[in-house]
Amino acid sequence: MRLTLTQRLSLVFAVLLLVCCGTSAWMQVRSNQMHELEVVQGLSRDLAQHIARDTVLMDTKGLMPDAVRDLFSQLMLVNPSVEVYLLDPEGRIVGSAAPEGRIRRERVDLAPIQRLLKGDALPVLGDDPRSVDGRKVFSAAPLQVNGKPVGYLYVVLLSEEHDRFAERGATSAALNTALLSIGLVALLCLIAGLTAFALITRPLRRLTETVSRFDIDGAPVTPPASAPVEKAASHDEIAILDAAFRQMQARLGEQWRSLTRQDQERRELVANISHDLRTPLASLHGYLETLSLKDAALSPADRRRYLGIALDQSRKVGGLAQSLLELVRLEHGFVQPVLERFSLTDLVQDIFQKFELTAEARQVELKATFAPNVSAACADLGLIERVLTNLFDNALRHTPQGGEIELSLRPQGPFIEVTVSDTGPGIAAELREGLFLRPFNIGGARRDGGLGLRIVHRILQLHGREIQLIDVPGRGATFRFSLPMDQQTAEQWAVRSMNLNSMGNP
């Protein structure tokens, strides 16, 4: 039989309560018995001494049988709960009024007698001559004749008659009342305990129902909002557990939605890359096939033109493959930034020299604006060069003839702010969502297969920085990011980026 947690707790509580009540009843009965023995022995402690002082039971010739019988008879008539015995100095029983065959011991242990005579704490139990192993409260006094010890007067205070009467009264009203009281208290405690368990485990049952409804194979459901529980301030473990589960459920939901979104973005990326690869490959194949079939009929000028177009398409395919490989390496952690200090102005001059001829051919002006106090940056030189190259390449593709591309550097606290802007058509508002995470089109033309800005975003993310598309009046697309100027700041932001990536943040 499988029991719930509440039922198991209730069963264990009931068993423990039964054991405790039984123990309490036994201890109460035992305490009453010991108290009774203490009272009886305390009241009759000097009984034997009074008898030994007022009655002559032995003389120089020894025991006086008639005196002993008379004394025992009188005592039994006056107090039938006592039994009187005469003991010699070694504790052997030498006289009693017990019927024939009722005495089960020949000797009484003298150690309890000595403890009683020394005044030890009551009750002191001694041997019962009418029982093989029984012990009872007693009174004792030494007997002397002519100043010499001749034995002990040993008085058992609770005789066999007392035991028989006590057994008949075992179900007395007082005992029944005590047991009934204990039973009533136990019943009330049981009811209160079961009610308390039901109330205490109610939040746990609700949490169990919530967990049982959680579908691990389906889409996570956003849990209902609940009051926040501060772990440091709350002492309710179940409430803390419930809050932790809700946080976990919400976190799983966020991660599931993030994975779904990333999966959709990857599908779009693969589809767009396939489309971008298919176009130049088809063109390359077509021109090469034309050269193969009509080589003899083509003029040298047409042959050179076809070969030039084929080479151009081949370079596009190679560029897309290289960008895709670079993005894979960046997103899977194969590339880690090597931080070093370098002159950002020198790097910008190198980028300008790289694109100078292309800009002149397209009649686009390259312009640089440096603040007077711009210092060196601390980052990975090669990766930052790739960032600026991608931004300039995209800007040149979409800046019309006679336009302008401007790069500005200015300090911003412990960072250098880098801004790259052009005078092209810009990026429409509906295309800005997920701009750095998925491919996009501007006027039917794709920027580097949509991979350029994604590579830029990932490189800056490895440095703990972000790139933003901002609106500047009179300009087209304007991108802004910042780089740290000192080694300590650069390392702190790089470590922060690693921690965020390890937790699964995009």
What are the structural domain ranges in the chain?
Answer: 44-168, 237-327, 335-502
Phi-psi region of 426 (alpha: psi -120 to 50; beta: other; left: phi over 0): left
| Mean pLDDT within 256-276 | 76
Rounded distance between C-alpha atoms, residue 334 and residue 166, angstroms:
93
Reduced 3-state DSSP string for 104-150: CCCECCCHHHHHHHHCCCCCCEEECCCCCCCEEEEEEEEEEECCEEE
* DSSP code of residue 223: P
Q: Give the percent of the chain with pLDDT over 70.
A: 83
Between 55 and 136, where is the model more confident? Answer: 136
pLDDT of residue 229: 46
- Across all residues in the chain, what is the average pLDDT? 80
pLDDT of residue 360: 92
Edge to edge, what strands does the sheet with 468-470 contain?
A: 365-370, 404-412, 415-422, 478-484, 468-470
Q: How crowded is the C-beta side of 231, counted as CA atoms within 13 Å?
A: 6
Name the band, by pLDDT with cuts 50, 70 and 90, for residue 196: confident
Which residues are registered as beta bridge partners of 350? none
**Helices 202-213/173-200 angle, 10° precision:** 40
44-168: CATH topology is Beta-Lactamase (3.30.450)
User: Is residue 388 over pLDDT 80?
Assistant: yes
Rounded distance between C-alpha atoms, residue 323 and residue 388, angstroms:
15
Q: Kindly report which listed range (32-41, 104-113, 157-166) carries the lowest average pLDDT score.
A: 157-166
SS3 468: strand
pLDDT of residue 480: 94
User: Is residue 43 over pLDDT 90?
Assistant: no
| 338: amino acid identity, one letter | V
| Mean pLDDT within 181-206 | 80
State in words which class domain 335-502 has: alpha beta
H-run or E-run covering 418: strand 415-422
User: Is residue 162 over pLDDT 90?
Assistant: no
Between 141 and 261, where is the model more confident? Answer: 141
pLDDT of residue 385: 93
Kindly report the CATH number that applies to the domain delimited by 237-327. 1.10.287.130
In 3D, which of 468, 405, 400, 389 has the Cα closest to residue 432? Answer: 468
Rounded distance between C-alpha atoms, residue 84 and residue 138, angstroms:
10
Between 220 and 25, where is the model more confident? Answer: 25
Q: CA dihedral in degrees (366, 369, 375, 381; nearest 10)?
A: -20
Name the band, by pLDDT with cuts 50, 70 and 90, for residue 294: confident
Name the band, by pLDDT with cuts 50, 70 and 90, for residue 442: very low
- pLDDT, tens digit, 9 for 90 and up, residues 53-84: 777 666 666 666 666 667 777 776 666 778 88
pLDDT of residue 445: 44
Phi-psi region of 402 (alpha: psi -120 to 50; beta: other; left: phi over 0): left
- pLDDT, tens digit, 9 for 90 and up, residues 323-347: 778 877 877 778 888 889 999 999 9
| 450: amino acid identity, one letter | G
Q: Kindly report which listed range (97-101, 135-139, 212-216, 368-372) carries the lowest average pLDDT score.
A: 212-216
SS3 440: coil
pLDDT of residue 45: 83
User: Is residue 152 over pLDDT 80?
Assistant: yes
pTM for the model:
0.50
User: Is residue 321 over pLDDT 70?
Assistant: yes
pLDDT of residue 274: 74
Q: Kindly report which listed range (90-99, 372-381, 394-403, 435-444) carries the lowest average pLDDT score.
A: 435-444
User: Is residue 161 over pLDDT 90?
Assistant: no
Name the band, by pLDDT with cuts 50, 70 and 90, for residue 166: low
pLDDT of residue 498: 64
pLDDT of residue 232: 42
Q: Are 365 and 405 contacting, i.e. CB atoms less than 8 angstroms apart? A: yes
Question: For the purposes of burial, counting CB atoms within 10 Å of the CB of 158, is it exposed (0-12), middle (13-18) or buried (19 or more)?
Answer: buried
